[in-house]
Structure 1
Amino acid sequence: MERIMKQSLLALSIKKPKWVFIITLLLTAITGAMIPGIVVDTDPENMLAEDQPARVFHNEVKDRFNLYDAIVVGAVNEESIFSPNSLQALHTLSEGIADIEGVIEPDMMSLSTVDNITQEGVGTIRFEWMMKQPPETMEQAKEIGQDVQRLPLFQETLVSGDEKAAAIYVPIENKDESYRISQEIETLIGGLDSKDEYHITGLPVAEDTFGFQMFVQMGISAPLAALMIFVLMWFFFRNLKFVAAPMIIAMATVIITMGLLIGMGFTVHIMSSMIPIFLMPIAVVDSIHIMSEFADSYKQGRDRKEVVKEVVGHLFTPMLYTSITSAIGFFSLLLTPIPPVQVFGAYVGFGILLAFLLTIVFIPAYLCALKPKALASLQSGSDKQSWLQKVLPQVGKKSLALSKLVTVGFVVIVALSLWGINQIQINDNPVRWFKEDHKIRVADRVLNDHFAGTYNAYLVLDYDQSAAKAEWMEAVNELDDSSLKKDIASIMEGGSDLGSQLNDVIITLEDRIFSASDKEMDTIDSLLAKAEETRRSLAYFQQPQMLKKIEQLQQALLDSGYVGKSNSITDVVKTVTRELKSGEPEDFVIPQSQRGVAQALLQYQSSHRPQDLWHMVTKDYSSTAIWLQLKSGDNQDMTRVVEYVENYFEDNPLPENVSAEWAGKSYLNMVWQDEMVEGMLSSLLSAFVVVFVMMIILFRSILFGALAMLPLSITILFIYGLIGWVGKDYDMPIAVLSSLTLGLSIDFAIHFLERSRDIYKQTGEFKSMIKKMFEEPASAISRNAVVIAVGFTPLLFAPLVPYITVGFFLATIMAASAVVTLILLPVALKATRRWAFKS
């Protein structure tokens, strides 16, 4: 099968080179035309499948409590934010932001848009705007500061504890508009008459800003990497016609793959944005092997077609297997539960196989189409001995001469790598996708230093209504009045919640009172009382004992140090209760009765912002959300909070009919990170096994299969050990590098071992074989490694950390795998030569 494929592809490329060029050009043009339809997506929520339980619940909670993604704008004055100038600027900015399209004005939180709650008299409270007009004097400004200090919902949220900063929470209709909205806010800030420092942060704006800059970076990094590869290949080969062919293959592979991805309706996520960067080096590897050996083999007077057949005959099998193994490394990502990672793996895998096919068809056609003069210049360039060809034979000699030292050295490296792997911390945070000095990182650092936290998570408590409903239905089923029983059953079969159903039942019963007989009146009164009792029991989070449990949980979270602050219905109830009574701190308590709680909540609904209550509790009071503010968006910090709450509930169990579940962006980031780590590990292990089996099949030898896996294994250990040594968090880009390591690290080993066996068959002697191996084959391997490793150094200057990470580790992977191949494999072959070459 392999032989038939090789002959068919060679026949096509050698006999009909023009058709090869036309087909390649058409494919590239058609798919390239699809690229302008690109849609960028940087929402980490999409790292989870749409039906993933945590994501489904998160979106359900947003709908249930009318929650929106929010941009956080902070103003900082190192003396005091409570000055007329600062508050005037804040007021002006708030009014400007409210007019921006896409901002949900009623839910915007600022000192000028929230209520001050004060006592008007015993049993009466007053709601008035905290800052309807900006203060004109310092005394007025300080009064606003004193008012804020009395309201726990605003302390450390709208105003910092040190009174040096104030925040505006800007809820937005669509998180994909957050970059645009943030730019409009920056324009408003630029027009303020204020010396205060202003900062903009929040996960939505960080993610959308990353999307914008990622789009820009895609247009810069890939061409720069291509340019660097082009320059390096010219430096090595000093022949533009030689360099042109691999570059054409690389560009065609990238354009066709990205065009297909976009044309098939996939969005470009942070992962898929890196496809060109991953494909570029892989696509040129095989081309360089063919062109390099052709340049060494072709002499004037020889038939170029015969030379092409000879070169491709040597290289077809190792190139086929390196392509398949590299593709398997990326296809293994389909085993992860992360959709963008699956798309990334599928299309990089496809691109690798496409690059192999284009290389085998296009490069021979290209060489056959070159004019004799061009071939002569190719040959003259190859006659000069490069510095690699001078150095490599010495590397081969030294590695064998110092074989024991080499072995010990690699054993030490493996041991240190294992230690480094144990130091790895699994962590990610979209804000850290920017460099330290990026304005979003600066804003994140400054505002989280001042406030309780700009990262949100929600702990949702739900009351199970099934027992109350069963008890109510039992009372209905015991009715003797079949007509009444039928009417109530019809209401209860409706699609609304139990509380709404009971409201409809109460209305129906009250209507029937007017026409009821004395006997029926007793039944209706009894049923009305039961309905009222059931409805009160459903309002579970109006019950003082449950609110006290929430209060205790909030205090425990604050004492833990893992949470900057939490806000809940208890804060509303205690604040209103205090003002209804004396206004003094001793009355900042939860009322003793459900009626007292209900009265406080009813009073709150007469404020200017009654909708704020429904962000904390559902209208039937059967579900409540505790808003947690975290100073960090790191997954590790969210994990600590989740584990702390789990342990707290073990020691302080919730009632049997109450459940607790998490929602919020910080929690979702933690979930997909955990799933990614598990998925990457399983995909890496499964791909490792598949590649090992393929190596055994390729070489028809367990020993050679194991030798081929040696550079791959050591490179993987070294790369992840290095991550642990330098203290780099195991995040999304790092996780995906496992596939790159698996795919690229074995390429050099396959070429080295396959050519070693071929040369050994010719020489029949180990030393001669090693000598020849460190001529053209080692030179081709080294050129590839240098071209790719150095070619991606432009990524180190990108403003986005994932690009820097990929650039650094991609270069390190290539360098490490080449070094292990060229230094350790000769030593391993020497130690096993009796068995390796016995036939």
Structure 2
Amino acid sequence: MFPLLEIDTDPENMLNHDAPARVYHNQIKQQFAMHDMVVIGIVSDNSIYTPKNLAVLNDLSNFILSLDDVITTDYLALNVVDNISQEYSDTGENTGIRFSYLMKNAPDTPEATQALKTAIKRLPMLENTLVSGDNKAAAIYLPLTSKDKSYGIAEKIRLYASSLETSLDIHITGLPVAEDQFGYEMFVQMGVAAPLAGLAIFVLLWYFFRNLPLIAAPMIVAMATVIIIMGSLIGLGYTVHIMSSMIAIFLMPIAVVDSVHILSEFADRYQKGDNVKAVLTRVMQHLYKPMLFTSLTSAVGFFSLLLTPIPPVKVFGAFIGSGILLAFVLTIFFIPVYISRMSEQAITNLHIAVTRLEQSGVMSNALISLGRHARQKGRFIIPLFILLLALSMEGINRIEINDNPVNWFKADHQIRVADRVLNDHFAGTYDAWLVFNAKNNDEDKAIEDFRQQLQQAKSSGLDVSLIEQYFQENAIDQQLLALLDELSFSADSRHIEITDNMLASVEHILHQRKIFIRPELLSWLSELQHQLMATGLVGKVNSITDIVKTVNRELQSGKQQDFAIPGSAAAVAQTLLQYQSSHRPQDLWHFVNTDYNQALLWLQMTSGDNQHMAEVVDWLHGYMAKNPAPVPLNAQWAGKSYLNIVWQDLMVSGMLNSLLSSFVIVFAMMVLLFRSLKYGVLAMLPLSFTITLIYGLIGWAEKAYDMPIAVLSALTLGLSIDFAIHFLQRVRELRTELGSMKQALQRMYYEPGRAIFRNAIVIAIGFTPLLLSPLVPYITVGFFLAGIMLVSALVTLVLLPALLTLTDKS
């Protein structure tokens, strides 16, 4: 199934296909022909306005235009956009407005270059979008037919740019290329990290057991688990997202845990000359129950992710949970059979190696010392844990929810460097779309009046079946007006008044809809743009008002005093009509629909952080409450930056529900396993402290709560409970056997304690190859999961003995 693998890194897919925010986002993209843009920036140390630099820009732009998959109609660069200026006759008389290509060819003189600079400064749609405000950089905005073409196109552009003889720095950024390049590098990482994790575990097992045939067994279980689960995921048609790409890394160390328990206890129990099968039987009878419950609780922790409303997280949880159960089944069937088929000499060598390691090793001595302190210093340890808990709670209160796909790369990655450089120069490479719709409460009555007119026309004998059918299937629009116009010509004289009335009704409805040609509303939009930029949260806002004011200036005096909204709707309509004579009339429909009852504002921001976008959303809500529009409006958001807020909010609430529900289920399982409320509570303490400590550390370290961090709660719950189960199960058995809790705890720090800590090290080391990744989410998961394993093992080996010593004096 592996050849069928498909990579998906689109954050849009963090939402269900039918999620309202996603549906609306895609509706707006289609309605206004908006695109997620790849941004190419050309940066000079001095000024971009030199003939040589502009020639490089022109060559690069023409090369990009020659590539497949480029949407040329909406491509933005200096050589394809218009200059808007006044037209003069030979006698110097102003004869109207002129649309001419701004830079069809690169200027070859300083005078022509200066003229280009002057023209750009007069065009608000271009200033600080296509040329930076500091005059040191120019940008190209590249829309593609498909986002998954971004990486391939970017690589072609980088290759061509490297062949240009220029000192200019050429950068490529934007969410589409960041997401697609992450997918490419994620695919590479999958092929590197999983084998490295396997190698790290193999080396560690060799250190523990010094027996190649023996340690091959857990490696076979781990590889089989990974191949079966990943093959099933791919074969069932699921794409590999950032989360599911980590499945192999997670399952590799988890799948060997039970094997290590079996190998450790077998090596500890076996004596030369013993019947191997009899020893294995005792080992499996002893370990089967705790291994079953640790597998079930770990699986529950991951299956709880199915409660989140984030599809990739659901897939991740489902397949990791299934992988844990599969690894358990493979382990209990395969490992005992495998050991029983080994030679007597190999098994004897295993026993000798493990005995030597446990008797004189650093780990053995350290565990014995740790156990002594845990038993003797309980009155100090418990208050210390309570203090750590309080500090952790304060850290949790400091956690800030934030994510940004560009930040998934390391700081020195070319995507991050490009993002930083271009956002320093321009108004911003991150987009959000603010869409306004008219709240036309009077239209319902007008439509009802028209419906009655249709009934009246039918009663008079006029054939309006075609009109009626169109009206029922479609909204009132220009096509309905055209049908009525045709009817008025074909109707006889006795129906003229009826058809005229219907025509007048539809014309009135259509005219009333055209709110975005009203001067008072456009002036309100213009002020909103100004106030948005004044917040410092938004670098630039582009809208229909920029087009109207620019064309109006050139229709009037050409001076800045006429850079304003005209005083009447007719004058506004005239500016828009003039603009449609340009080389790019389609650009108007990015900002307003053809009925002029919907308008879109294109916000450019220098940050793609969720917090940044959330501040903009909150600011707009407050502004509109204090400064209502002259016409009642609905405001809705679209664009990738806004979608990131939506799925982050869903993720936080979903993870909380997931954690709480799985916590309750696991607690019930612990009470059932130990047949004791006391031991059920004790079993939950290590994972509770671990979750609190890890998230407290995240808060104190000011690490943003992003997608990988959010999933850690389920991982912590699923994995850190394992150590507590094995510890408590064994200590209860030893207490029954020895008749004393004190002696039982003392014995726990030999073979049982070593097995627990050995497992913690195996899992922690298994995640360390992620630290070598160039991708930040992998590094984050690797670091925190290694920490979770070590912390949960230490909490188990320190806190539980302290509590048991104080509560059981035997």
TM-score, length-scaled by structure 2: 0.96
Shift of 1:522: 4.4
The DSSP-based 3-state class of the residue aligned with 2:328 is helix
Residue 450 of structure 1 aligns with an amino acid whose one-letter code is: H
Of 248, 273, 283, 1:276 maps to: 248
1:82 corresponds to 2:49: yes
More deviation, 448-457/585-594: 585-594
2:732 corresponding residue in structure 1: 757
The DSSP-based 3-state class of the residue aligned with 1:498 is coil
In structure 2, relative to structure 1, the CA distance for the partners of 1:95 and 1:495 (3 Å cut) is farther
Residue 86 of structure 2 aligns with an amino acid whose one-letter code is: Q
Query: What CA distance in whole angstroms lies between the structure 2 residues aligned with 1:505 and 1:53?
Result: 35
Contact 2:467 2:484 in 1 (8 A): no
Of 761, 764, 788, 2:763 maps to: 788
Query: What CA distance in whole angstroms lies between the structure 1 residues aligned with 2:125 and 2:138?
Result: 14
Query: What CA distance in whole angstroms lies between the structure 2 residues aligned with 1:342 and 1:299?
Result: 47
In structure 2, relative to structure 1, the CA distance for the partners of 1:658 and 1:381 (3 Å cut) is same
2:38 corresponding residue in structure 1: 71
The DSSP-based 3-state class of the residue aligned with 1:80 is coil
Shift of 1:272: 0.2
1:219 corresponds to 2:191: yes
Residue 204 of structure 1 aligns with an amino acid whose one-letter code is: P
1:246 corresponding residue in structure 2: 218
Shift of 1:409: 1.8
Query: What CA distance in whole angstroms lies between the structure 2 residues aligned with 1:344 and 1:475?
Result: 55
1:540 corresponding residue in structure 2: 515
Q: Provide the aligned length of Structure 1 versus Structure 2.
A: 799
1:453-499 CA-to-partner distances (Å, cap 9, x unmatched) read 10011011122567425414414624754344725742642544422
1:612 corresponds to 2:587: yes
Of 633, 648, 651, 2:623 maps to: 648
Query: What CA distance in whole angstroms lies between the structure 1 residues aligned with 2:149 and 2:75?
Result: 16
1:425 corresponding residue in structure 2: 400
2:311 corresponding residue in structure 1: 339
1:490 corresponds to 2:504: no
In structure 2, relative to structure 1, the CA distance for the partners of 1:753 and 1:629 (3 Å cut) is same
1:677 corresponds to 2:655: no
1:14 corresponding residue in structure 2: none
Contact 1:509 1:528 in 2 (8 A): no
Residue 386 of structure 2 aligns with an amino acid whose one-letter code is: V
The DSSP-based 3-state class of the residue aligned with 1:66 is coil
1:435 corresponds to 2:410: yes
In structure 2, relative to structure 1, the CA distance for the partners of 1:645 and 1:678 (3 Å cut) is same
In structure 2, relative to structure 1, the CA distance for the partners of 1:541 and 1:123 (3 Å cut) is farther
Query: What CA distance in whole angstroms lies between the structure 1 residues aligned with 2:13 and 2:147?
Result: 13
1:662 corresponding residue in structure 2: 637
Of 505, 509, 527, 1:552 maps to: 527
Of 88, 93, 106, 2:60 maps to: 93
Residue 292 of structure 2 aligns with an amino acid whose one-letter code is: L
Query: What CA distance in whole angstroms lies between the structure 2 residues aligned with 1:137 and 1:91?
Result: 15
The residue correspondences of 1:363-762 to structure 2 (distance < 5 A) are 363-384=335-356, 385=359, 386-464=361-439, 467-468=442-443, 470-475=445-450, 477-478=452-453, 480-482=456-458, 483-484=461-462, 486-487=464-465, 489-490=467-468, 492-493=470-471, 495-512=473-490, 516-517=492-493, 520-654=495-629, 658-762=633-737
In structure 2, relative to structure 1, the CA distance for the partners of 1:363 and 1:126 (3 Å cut) is same
Query: What CA distance in whole angstroms lies between the structure 2 residues aligned with 1:375 and 1:488?
Result: 90
2:91 corresponding residue in structure 1: none
Shift of 1:83: 0.6
Contact 1:203 1:431 in 2 (8 A): yes
Query: What CA distance in whole angstroms lies between the structure 2 residues aligned with 1:806 and 1:544?
Result: 54
Query: What CA distance in whole angstroms lies between the structure 1 residues aligned with 2:614 and 2:136?
Result: 31
Shift of 1:139: 1.8
1:316-335 CA-to-partner distances (Å, cap 9, x unmatched) read 11111111111010100000
Shift of 1:726: 1.1
Shift of 1:601: 0.5
In structure 2, relative to structure 1, the CA distance for the partners of 1:458 and 1:484 (3 Å cut) is farther
1:810 corresponds to 2:782: no
What are the ranges of 5 or more consecutive residues in structure 1 without an aligned counterpart? Answer: 1-33
Contact 1:43 1:207 in 2 (8 A): yes
Residue 262 of structure 2 aligns with an amino acid whose one-letter code is: I
Compute the RMSD of aligned alpha carbons. Answer: 1.6
Shift of 1:150: 0.3
Shift of 1:500: 2.4
Shift of 1:443: 0.5
Shift of 1:190: 1.3
Contact 1:68 1:173 in 2 (8 A): no
Contact 2:453 2:502 in 1 (8 A): no
Shift of 1:423: 1.0
2:17 corresponding residue in structure 1: 50
Shift of 1:137: 1.4
Contact 1:491 1:505 in 2 (8 A): no
Query: What CA distance in whole angstroms lies between the structure 1 residues aligned with 2:324 and 2:268?
Result: 26
More deviation, 127-136/295-304: 295-304
Query: What CA distance in whole angstroms lies between the structure 1 residues aligned with 2:468 and 2:739?
Result: 92
Query: What CA distance in whole angstroms lies between the structure 1 residues aligned with 2:473 and 2:124?
Result: 38
1:127 corresponding residue in structure 2: 99
Shift of 1:529: 3.6
Of 147, 164, 188, 1:175 maps to: 147
1:309 corresponds to 2:276: no
Query: What CA distance in whole angstroms lies between the structure 2 residues aligned with 1:724 and 1:414?
Result: 13
Query: What CA distance in whole angstroms lies between the structure 2 residues aligned with 1:807 and 1:792?
Result: 5
Residue 246 of structure 1 aligns with an amino acid whose one-letter code is: P
The DSSP-based 3-state class of the residue aligned with 2:100 is strand
Shift of 1:433: 0.2
In structure 2, relative to structure 1, the CA distance for the partners of 1:173 and 1:291 (3 Å cut) is same
Query: What CA distance in whole angstroms lies between the structure 1 residues aligned with 2:500 and 2:740?
Result: 106
The DSSP-based 3-state class of the residue aligned with 2:464 is helix
Shift of 1:126: 0.3
The residue correspondences of 1:137-286 to structure 2 (distance < 5 A) are 137-286=109-258
Contact 2:716 2:788 in 1 (8 A): yes
The DSSP-based 3-state class of the residue aligned with 2:634 is strand
Query: What CA distance in whole angstroms lies between the structure 2 residues aligned with 1:196 and 1:491?
Result: 61
More deviation, 645-654/109-118: 645-654
Contact 1:257 1:351 in 2 (8 A): yes
The DSSP-based 3-state class of the residue aligned with 2:511 is helix
1:340-385 CA-to-partner distances (Å, cap 9, x unmatched) read 0000000000001111111111111111111222112212212312
The DSSP-based 3-state class of the residue aligned with 1:546 is helix
Shift of 1:810: 0.8
What are the ranges of 5 or more consecutive residues in structure 2 without an aligned counterpart? Answer: 89-93
Contact 2:15 2:310 in 1 (8 A): yes
Query: What CA distance in whole angstroms lies between the structure 2 residues aligned with 1:35 and 1:523?
Result: 69
2:323 corresponding residue in structure 1: 351
Query: What CA distance in whole angstroms lies between the structure 1 residues aligned with 2:160 and 2:485?
Result: 52
Contact 2:404 2:610 in 1 (8 A): yes
TM-score, length-scaled by structure 1: 0.93
Query: What CA distance in whole angstroms lies between the structure 1 residues aligned with 2:736 and 2:457?
Result: 100
1:763-820 CA-to-partner distances (Å, cap 9, x unmatched) read 0012211121111000001111122223322211110001100110011001100110
1:267-298 CA-to-partner distances (Å, cap 9, x unmatched) read 00000000111111211111100000001111
Shift of 1:555: 1.4
The DSSP-based 3-state class of the residue aligned with 2:593 is coil
Shift of 1:503: 2.7
1:105 corresponding residue in structure 2: 72
Query: What CA distance in whole angstroms lies between the structure 1 residues aligned with 2:374 and 2:162?
Result: 64
1:797 corresponding residue in structure 2: 772
Query: What CA distance in whole angstroms lies between the structure 2 residues aligned with 1:223 and 1:655?
Result: 64
